[in-house]
Amino acid sequence: MVGSRLDGRVVLVTGAGQGIGRGVALALAKEGARVGIAGRTMAKCEAVAEEIGGLGGAAVALECDVARREHVDAAVAATVETFGGLDGIVNNASTAPQKLLAEVTDDEVTEVWQIAAMGTLYGMQAALPHLRERGGGAIVNFGSSTAVDGNATFGAYAMAKEAIRGLSRVAAREWGRYNIRVNVIVPNASSPPSEAFAAAHPDRFARIQSMLALRRVGDPEADIGRAVVALVSDDLAYLTADTLMLTGG
The catalytic site residues sit at 157
Task: Indicate the residue type of 19.
Answer: G
Surface-to-core class of residue 125, CB atoms within 10 Å of its CB (0-12 exposed, 13-18 middle, 19+ buried) = middle
CA 232, CA 13: separation in Å to the nearest integer? 12
What does the DSSP assignment read for the chain? ---STTTT-EEEEETTTSHHHHHHHHHHHHTT-EEEEEES-HHHHHHHHHHHHHTT-EEEEEE--TTSHHHHHHHHHHHHHHHS--SEEEE-------B-GGG--HHHHHHHIIIIIIHHHHHHHHHHHHHHHTT-EEEEEE--HHHHHT-TTBHHHHHHHHHHHHHHHHHHHHHGGGTEEEEEEEE-B--HHHHHHHHH-HHHHHHHHHTSSS-SPBPIIIIIIHHHHHHHSSTTTT--S-EEEES--
- The C-alpha angle with vertex 185 and arms to 21 and 124, in degrees rounded to 5, equals 75
